[in-house]
Structure 1
Amino acid sequence: MSLVHILALVGVVGAAAPAVAQTAAPQPLPTPLIAQACRGCHGQAGLGMEGTPAIVGMDPATFQRLWGEFRANQRPATIMNRIARGYSDQEVATLAAYFAVRQ
């Protein structure tokens, strides 16, 4: 095998490496992006609006418990029970931590 062939092979393998790295498992969305979805019902700052409670400053365990109740249809809701099913447990924990420290 000539030097040209070896260099060409190294170039092809090297070019494929970024593509392989990009096919890794998807990562959860950054917290601010995830939290933006809550603004439509809970307000820009999460302080609640007519018909929806404030979520800022909520204890993370309470946040996650309530989320689980919505997800399991154990808590009355107009749309939150459907929204709750669209988030992973990790994303819910991230939201709970994010809103817990907001005032």
Structure 2
Amino acid sequence: MQLFRWTAALCLLGTLGLAQAEQKADPNLARDLAATCTGCHGSDGRAVPGAGFEALAGVDKAQLMQKLRDFRSGARPATIMHQISRGYTEAQLELIAAYFAARK
């Protein structure tokens, strides 16, 4: 039984390591993650003026991260962003924020 536990633990750690390696290896990961934001925040983070959504393109990464953390914690009121922000890891949110910050 003890051997089974160790084997299962090692398999789990190996799987997590592979998932992280794949995440770092994908050069399009940030763009792909950010694509989920375009439905509301516009193509490449360029929101349609007057549509009621903030533009994300060119906003400082630290500022975007603070907003995302505030949505996640509930400190910032939202209709849906509190749920969306909880669906990503901290590392994924960092990628998304960096992607939009790089858009000018």
TM-score, normalised to structure 1's length?
0.72
Residue 30 of structure 2: aligned partner: 31
Structure 2: 5+ residue runs without aligned partners? 1-13
Structure 1: 5+ residue runs without aligned partners? 1-21
Shift, 1:45, TM fit:
2.4
User: What is the letter of the counterpart of residue 90 of structure 2?
Assistant: D
Counterparts in 2 of 1:1-103, with a 5 A limit?
23=15, 24-26=17-19, 27-28=22-23, 30-49=29-48, 50-103=51-104
Query: How many residues are treated as equivalent by the alignment?
Result: 82
DSSP 3-state at the match of 1:37: helix
1:20-77 CA-partner distances (Å, limit 9, x unpaired): xx95532437111101101011011211241210001011110100000000111111
Deviating 4+ runs (over 2 angstroms): 22-25
Moved more, 23-32 or 70-79: 23-32
For residues 95 and 77 of structure 2, the distance between their equivalents in structure 1, rounded to whole angstroms, comes to: 23
Higher CA-based Rg: 1
DSSP 3-state at the match of 2:64: helix
* Identity score, percent: 38
